[in-house]
Chains A and B, each alone.
Chain A
Amino acid sequence: MDPFVTLTAPAVPLDIANIDTDQLLPARFLKKPRSAGYGNFLLHDERKPGFPLDDPAYAGARVLVTDRNFGCGSSREGAVYALVDGGFRCVVAPSFGDIFAANAAKNGLLTITLPEETVAELRRQLQETPGAAVTVDLPAQTLTGPDGQPRPFAIDPFKKECLIEGLDDVALTLRYQDAIDAFDRADEEARPWLMPGT
């Protein structure tokens, strides 16, 4: 996965709450391999005339600024592939579906959670100045909007480290192999009934 450190890019506002993963990647595309071009499936059925993602004023957007509960619904990681393959590296919202946010981090897509009013204000600025850029500084944990004002955001330190270094989780976990083996040995004693069909 591509490391994420800083990013300055145009941002597109989307005034819709509860954008779920069925909308982000409609179910009929789930059987496609990644090589089919998931970016073309992003919000496929929402893209009616006037949809901000297709507005030339927001061309080249790499940041999405939207409303609460973004990415709720199914666990399909394809929803994240659709955003990443569609050019996005960061989504800003008042809240996210938990599974979506976890999937995003594994694929180098930064999710920034900010208070509802702050996000609404950012969307308003982006609507006033279409195509304006925002700057994300992950090490400093700030998001600077079109008004030039840096806003701090919180992020799980583990997530931050994985994003900045582009870490592969499994490689990290294998460093804990002794602890895993010890857990399994103790567990055999503690829960002899655990094995299916015993």
Chain B
Amino acid sequence: MTQHPRSLFDKVWDAHLVATRPDGQALLAIDRHFLHEGSFHAFGMIDHAKRPVRRPELTFAVADHYVPSHSRATPIADPEIANMVTMLEANAGRHGLRHFGLHDPAQGIVHVLAPEQGLTLPGLTIVCGDSHTSTHGAFGALAFGIGATEVSHVLATQTLWQRRPRTMRVTIDGVLGAHVTAKDLILAVIGFIGADGAAGHVIEYAGSAIRALSMEGRLTVCNMSIEAGARAGMIAPDDTTFSWIEGRNYAPKGELFDRAVAQWRTLPSDPDADFDREVSLDAAVIAPSVTWGTSPETAVPVTGAVPDPGAESDPVRAGQMRKMLDYMGLIPGTRLEDVGIDRVFIGSCTNARLEDLRAAAAVLRGRRAMVPGLVVPGSVPVRRQAEAEGLDRVFTDAGLEWGEPGCSMCVGINGDLVPAGERCASTTNRNFPGRQGPNARTHLMSPAMAAAAAVTGKLTDVRKLGAS
């Protein structure tokens, strides 16, 4: 009997089916469950129902959203913020969960920490009450964000009800140009398919440009899958993946690692696997990108200009463009490179890994920033390594601030806000109205592009500036 050809997604999905109802709903087994401070509603639900955590050994709590970026020597001043951090610790302690708290040597943003610690592995199902859980798909895991009620369900049962999503393959062949990064690649994909272009789908990223990416780059790509509306993003595991995992704290060791790798090698999509949709892009035409509006789908090459709603035929869309331009304080037709910025933020689960900090530092080395800015590494290990390489000095010598690991100005709930009306060049993933603070204006871009913007005080094509 020949087996129907299957995609990477099909293989991971099928291997986790516990039960399927006649109406098509599937009960999926969950291999890793990550929690952050926002999980308090879910703990409240299981505690209220007097349900224990079914698999504490597969459940990990990470303090990241509310942790301070400045000094950690003194207690958190704001009592509500401090409460979020201590509540997670208390909930984790009561249920016997491994907790990566404020002072843990592995602490970091959950989507940086888990891969770094070897908790994220190929072929796993991974959930977290956070939409950027899609990040972990870079390893060939099926990873997606869930809400509080679903978190409480996974805590209680280590399973989740899901309807099988559709699949979309995004193939990017060719070679990315100089200074064009994984961030530009994924911004181009979102600009192309739209902020809801992949709704209801799991994306598999394929093609030579994807294969050529480091694990850091793959994490950046999968991270922003959700900004195209995708349920998850996945990349087939390969030798780049396996060598990244080997030797990490929680990864399998010795003979078990070899057995795991043998299984992981069977995960890539079969040659004739079907996808519900196929999209392809040429890597060579992707330029360094920035967003002009309040949705990631407004990504355009930095070489362009602010678009004109007058040229849009659909009046509703034109009205929505005007609203975005109004929020962003931009005039149609302005060259993007003439748009001045007020500050930069380099950080977040999209772009706060070592490779990102190296790319930003390469542009900033020996230069001064024209605007204030904050650089926040994704984890304590990233911070340590960056300091060992002297990157922190490059940033501080340029006049930027060097922070402690966490989500920081990506979402601003630890108090790191972009002041109202200010324009921020940001390596984060969302430029929604108010995302970085009420009336803050966010332009998304790569770390090298944010560094270039810092140097000139304007949106800048990093290719003109070069890197040392």
Chain A residues at the B interface, C-beta cutoff of 8 Å: 15-18, 20, 22-23, 26-28, 30-31, 34, 45-46, 67-69, 72-78, 80, 95-99, 102-103, 106-107, 120, 156-158, 161, 169-170, 172-174, 176, 179-180, 183-184, 187, 191-198
Contact = CB atoms under 8 A, between A and B. Distances in A.
Given A72-B195, A102-B147, A198 B252 contact: yes
Interface string B183-222: 0000000000001100110000000000000000000000
B256 interface: yes
Interface stretch (B15-23, B379-387, B453-461): B15-23
B25 interface: yes
A27 B145 contact: no
Contact of A22 (B60, B147, B196, B432): B432
Interface stretch (B155-163, B280-288, B353-361): B155-163
B427 to A, nearest CB: 18
A170 B51 contact: yes
Contacts of A106: 147, 149-150
Contact of B196 (A28, A69, A102): A69
B320 A30 contact: no
Contacts of B25: 156, 158
A33 B410 CA distance: 23
B27 A102 contact: no
Given A169-B153, A197-B249, A198-B253, A99 B432 contact: no
A173 B159 contact: yes
Nearest to B263: A191
B158 A180 contact: yes
Interface string B249-272: 110110011011001000000000
> Which of B49, B200, B433 has the most A CB atoms < 10 Å from its CB?
B433
Nearest to B320: A17
Given A23-B433, A72-B196, A193-B252, 12 more contacts: A16-B323, A18-B295, A18-B320, A22-B435, A30-B413, A75-B146, A106-B150, A156-B24, A169-B153, A176-B18, A180-B29, A197-B250
Contacts of B334: none
B66 interface: yes
A110 B252 CA distance: 44
Contacts of B32: 196
A64 B19 CA distance: 35
B147 A75 contact: yes
Contacts of B435: 22, 27
Contacts of B434: 22-23, 26-27, 45
Interface string B295-313: 1010000000000000000
Contacts, number: 181
Contacts of B161: 158, 169, 172-173
Given A18-B295, A180-B159, A27 B411 contact: yes
Contacts of B29: 180, 183-184, 187
24 contacts: A15-B316, A17-B317, A18-B196, A22-B432, A27-B413, A30-B413, A46-B433, A69-B229, A72-B195, A95-B199, A97-B196, A98-B165, A98-B229, A98-B231, A99-B146, A102-B147, A156-B23, A156-B24, A169-B161, A179-B19, A191-B260, A192-B259, A193-B252, A198-B252
Contacts of A75: 129-131, 145-147
B199 A98 contact: yes
Contacts of A45: 433-434, 438-439
Interface stretch (B2-10, B76-84, B234-242, B365-373): B76-84
B157 A27 contact: no
B67 to A, nearest CB: 13
Contacts of A67: 316, 320
Nearest to B257: A193
Nearest to B117: A196
B189 to A, nearest CB: 16
A168 to B, nearest CB: 8
B131 A99 contact: yes
A181 to B, nearest CB: 10
A154 to B, nearest CB: 12
Nearest to B410: A27
A98 B295 CA distance: 17
Nearest to B84: A31
Contact of B229 (A16, A72, A161, A169): A72
Nearest to B148: A77
Contact of A31 (B19, B83, B430, B438): B83
B438 A76 contact: no
B412 A27 contact: yes
Given A31-B66, A120-B316, A68 B38 contact: no
Contacts of B129: 75, 77
A159 B199 CA distance: 18
B336 interface: no
B413 A28 contact: yes
B113 to A, nearest CB: 13
Contact of A170 (B84, B157, B199): B157
Nearest to B133: A75
A97 B323 CA distance: 21
A7 B394 CA distance: 61
A196 to B, nearest CB: 4
B41 interface: yes
A74 B163 contact: no
B153 A173 contact: yes
Contacts of A194: 31, 124
A195 B253 CA distance: 11
B175 interface: no
A43 to B, nearest CB: 10
